[in-house]
């Protein structure tokens, strides 16, 4: 056997560096690099291997393990899952810090390779520093927390095991149906052990997107349902973008006169000014999209998870509506009693378009869609226009940012009230200019995620929009962005706490409690100078007090040499009331508050309307 003697860590690094991908006809490294925070459990083994391979597999340093994994995940999303990154940590809190990010990647179907250090396979020095001991199971370590949030999990106990584990990991990471987080738990003594590895194992390999075509019987059933439909609707999910099917979707909808709506992950697949684009659907949807969704008799969901925000907690669509699930993942294709059409989005839409040749939806249905779109555009213009409020609304800030963003601008956001307002009000131009993490709605993703987007899209200006709550949770990657020369424009909307959840609390009859800082237990309210804090991390930063000042600051930010942070106080109670569908949030059956009892009555009415 033609072999080379390497440590397990050296072999792993060499293997990752040899993996390739094809993007727009060009061959590129599949792994753009590896994020690392070293500690005991990875610094001696994997750290030494990475230092020796710095030119072939770049290593990036972060300040927080969850944040670096967010950045890696955002990189994969911004790369339409064509490229990805890996992350390595020490064995203890460093490893468990990444579990939240693993869950985020799992929910959003995004590939990331997680390489946490682990305890000694030999168990000679047990218990080691940071080791979690299970009194009943000697095989358990803290890394078992990754099992339920990994698409594939393996613990490397012998050097030769990577000959099997790494190809299995790659097959998951590059499979559009199965992709998500892969965890290879690396026992720290095994990382440093050497073995003879076959040279063929390190031969370059190009991974290409698999595009399965639909089953003929499923295709015939879907086509028959759409031909019979009087009020068809398409829902565009993230799978449209990941498949590169945006243009095909546009042609499909125009050819067959079928209006379409967008999920959070699917927003931006087609431009906002497409004549059949109804905009956002569901709980954070537009009035145009939700009105047609309620009356649709057939809905074609393309590459969508069909979560509760899209379906209005299964109450948005009429009981007689037939769903068709065009999805590469059978699990998603069959949701909500859908007719499954298991296929790649591009291949499935192409085949379905051919099966519908010559067919167009009723003209009256198309005309109704166009009327709804025009009316909603008026709502957007009014909501995002500057007002005379002492503290502007989120919508007004969004309007100012939207006017400032150039043709290559990308926005990134994740949690709180902003995703709902952005989903309804933001007008995208091209696929990929709207980067929202809302499958897991993870506070703290915003800045780290924007960093990953900037790494994937160095040609773009990346804008991160977040609230003060998310900023306080995870802001350290401002320093990383400065260190790496990855400029971000960060707009912090300071509403004095968790304004979104305060609104939900009051909407379900509760009193404001423990969400806004003023309503939480306190001896004194802190005066947090976010601009000064951001400046201390190396950013250029300033506080503004009005929309005109914000617009001027955004102009300065565009020309700034490094990350620029703008802070503006906003009204925690103001939100865009128009549009939107019901969301099932359990309201207490028993309460001393009249407001809660009234909310419970309304809740039960919604349940009855849904058929519960």
Are residues 424 and 472 located together in one domain of the fold?
A: yes
Say if strands 19-23 and 26-29 run parallel, antiparallel, or are unpaired: antiparallel
* pLDDT tens digits along 290-336: 999 999 999 999 999 999 999 999 999 999 999 999 999 999 999 99
Residue 388: its pLDDT value, please? 86
Last residue of a domain, one of 350, 376, 402: 376
- When pLDDT is cut at 50, 70 and 90, the band that residue 592 belongs to is very high
Are residues 483 and 564 located together in one domain of the fold?
A: yes
d(CA 412, CA 460): 12
Are residues 145 and 171 located together in one domain of the fold?
A: yes
- When pLDDT is cut at 50, 70 and 90, the band that residue 52 belongs to is very high
Is position 574 within any domain?
no
- Report, as an integer, the average pLDDT of 140-165: 98
Give the per-residue SS3 of 505-519: HHHCCCCCCCCEHHH
CATH number of the structural domain spanning residue 90: 3.40.50.970
Is position 381 within any domain?
no
Are residues 195 and 304 located together in one domain of the fold?
A: no
Are residues 559 and 445 located together in one domain of the fold?
A: yes
* pLDDT tens digits along 229-284: 999 999 999 999 999 999 999 999 999 999 999 999 999 999 999 999 999 999 99
Residue 611: its pLDDT value, please? 81
Query: Which has more confidence, 431 or 399?
Result: 399
Are residues 132 and 233 located together in one domain of the fold?
A: no
> Residue 549: which domain range?
387-569
What is the CA angle 107-108-111, rounded to 5? 105
Is position 575 within any domain?
no
Is position 103 within any domain?
yes
Would you give the DSSP letter of residue 214?
Answer: P
Residue 229: its pLDDT value, please? 98
Are residues 132 and 225 located together in one domain of the fold?
A: no
Residue 137: its pLDDT value, please? 95
Are residues 167 and 95 located together in one domain of the fold?
A: yes
- When pLDDT is cut at 50, 70 and 90, the band that residue 406 belongs to is confident
Is position 536 within any domain?
yes
- When pLDDT is cut at 50, 70 and 90, the band that residue 201 belongs to is very high
- When pLDDT is cut at 50, 70 and 90, the band that residue 526 belongs to is confident
Q: What percent of the chain has pLDDT over 90?
A: 95
Are residues 603 and 509 located together in one domain of the fold?
A: no
Is position 69 within any domain?
yes
Residue 92: its pLDDT value, please? 92
- When pLDDT is cut at 50, 70 and 90, the band that residue 441 belongs to is very high
- Report, as an integer, the average pLDDT of 37-47: 96
Last residue of a domain, one of 376, 407, 430: 376
The count of structural domains within the chain is 4
d(CA 512, CA 518): 9
Is position 256 within any domain?
yes
Last residue of a domain, one of 163, 182, 207: 207
Are residues 22 and 111 located together in one domain of the fold?
A: yes
Q: How far is CA 246 from CA 251, 274, 284, 290, 362, in A?
A: 9, 12, 22, 22, 23
Q: Is the pLDDT of residue 1 over 80?
A: no
Q: Is the pLDDT of residue 612 over 90?
A: no
Q: What is the DSSP string of 61-109?
A: E-S-HHHHHHHHHHHHHHTTTSSEEEEEE-SSHHHHHTHHHHHHHHHHT
Alpha helices for 263-343 (secondary structure H): 287-295, 308-311, 330-333
Are residues 422 and 285 located together in one domain of the fold?
A: no
CATH number of the structural domain spanning residue 370: 3.40.50.1220
d(CA 224, CA 80): 32
Crossing angle of the two packed helices 394-404 and 547-559, in degrees rounded to 10: 40
- Report, as an integer, the average pLDDT of 424-429: 95
- When pLDDT is cut at 50, 70 and 90, the band that residue 577 belongs to is confident
Per the structure block, which two tokens stand in for 563?
């990350």
Are residues 449 and 341 located together in one domain of the fold?
A: no
Question: Do residues 470 and 419 touch, judged by C-beta distance below 8 A?
Answer: no
Is position 560 within any domain?
yes
């Amino acid at each position: 056997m033609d072999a080379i003697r390497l440590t397990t860590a050296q072999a792993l690094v060499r293997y990752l560096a040899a993996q390739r991908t094809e993007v727009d006809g060009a061959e590129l490294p599949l792994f753009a690099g590896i994020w690392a925070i070293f500690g005991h459990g990875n610094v001696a083994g994997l750290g030494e291997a990475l230092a020796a391979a710095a030119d072939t597999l770049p290593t990036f340093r972060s300040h927080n393990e969850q944040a670096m994994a967010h950045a890696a995940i955002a990189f994969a999303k911004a790369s339409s899952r064509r490229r990805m990154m890996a992350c390595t940590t020490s064995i203890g809190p460093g490893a468990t810090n990444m579990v939240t990010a693993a869950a985020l990647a799992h929910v959003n179907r995004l590939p990331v390779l997680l390489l946490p250090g682990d305890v000694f396979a030999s168990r000679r020095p047990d218990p080691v520093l940071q080791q979690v001991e299970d009194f009943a199971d000697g095989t358990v370590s803290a890394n078992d927390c990754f099992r339920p949030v990994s698409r594939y999990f393996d613990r490397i106990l012998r050097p030769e095991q990577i000959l099997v584990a790494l190809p299995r990991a790659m097959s998951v990471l590059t499979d559009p149906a199965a992709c998500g987080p892969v965890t290879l738990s690396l026992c720290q003594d095994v990382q440093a052990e050497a073995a003879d590895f076959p040279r063929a194992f390190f031969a370059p390999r190009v991974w290409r997107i698999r595009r399965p075509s639909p089953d003929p019987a499923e295709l015939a059933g879907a086509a028959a349902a759409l031909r019979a439909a009087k009020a068809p609707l398409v829902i565009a999910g993230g799978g449209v973008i990941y498949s590169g099917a945006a243009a095909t979707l546009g042609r499909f909808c125009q050819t067959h006169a079928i209006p379409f709506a967008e999920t959070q992950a699917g927003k931006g697949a087609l431009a906002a000014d497409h004549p059949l684009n109804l905009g956002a659907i569901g709980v954070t949807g537009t009035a145009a999209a939700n009105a047609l969704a309620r009356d649709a008799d057939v809905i074609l969901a393309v590459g969508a998870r069909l979560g509760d925000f899209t379906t209005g907690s299964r109450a948005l669509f009429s009981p007689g509506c037939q769903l068709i699930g065009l999805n590469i993942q059978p699990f998603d294709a069959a949701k909500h009693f859908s007719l499954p059409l298991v296929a790649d989005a591009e291949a499935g839409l192409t085949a379905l378009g051919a099966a519908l040749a010559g067919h167009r939806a009723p003209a009256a249905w198309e005309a109704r869609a166009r009327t709804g779109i025009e009316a909603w555009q008026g709502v957007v213009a009014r909501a995002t226009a500057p007002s005379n409020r002492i503290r502007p609304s989120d919508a007004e800030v969004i309007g100012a940012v939207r006017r400032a963003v150039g043709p290559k601008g990308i926005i990134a956001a994740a949690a709180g009230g902003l995703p709902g307002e952005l989903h309804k009000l933001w007008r995208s131009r091209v696929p990929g200019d709207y980067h929202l993490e809302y499958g897991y709605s993870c506070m703290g993703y915003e800045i780290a995620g924007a960093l990953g987007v900037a790494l994937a899209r160095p040609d773009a200006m990346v804008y991160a929009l977040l609230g003060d709550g998310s900023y306080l949770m995870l802001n350290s990657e401002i320093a990383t962005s400065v260190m790496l020369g990855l400029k971000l424009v960060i707009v912090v909307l300071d509403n004095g706490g968790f304004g979104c959840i305060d609104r939900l609390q009051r909407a379900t009859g509760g009193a404001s409690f423990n969400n806004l800082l003023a309503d939480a237990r306190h001896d004194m309210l802190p005066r947090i100078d976010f601009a000064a804090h951001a400046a201390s991390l190396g950013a250029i930063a300033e506080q503004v007090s009005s929309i005109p000042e914000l617009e001027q600051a955004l102009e300065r930010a565009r020309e700034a040499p490094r990350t620029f942070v703008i802070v503006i106080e906003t009204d925690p109670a103001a939100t865009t009331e128009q549009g939107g569908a019901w969301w099932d949030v359990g309201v207490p059956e028993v309460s001393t508050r009249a407001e809660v009892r009234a909310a419970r009555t309304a809740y039960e009415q919604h349940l009855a309307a849904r058929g519960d």
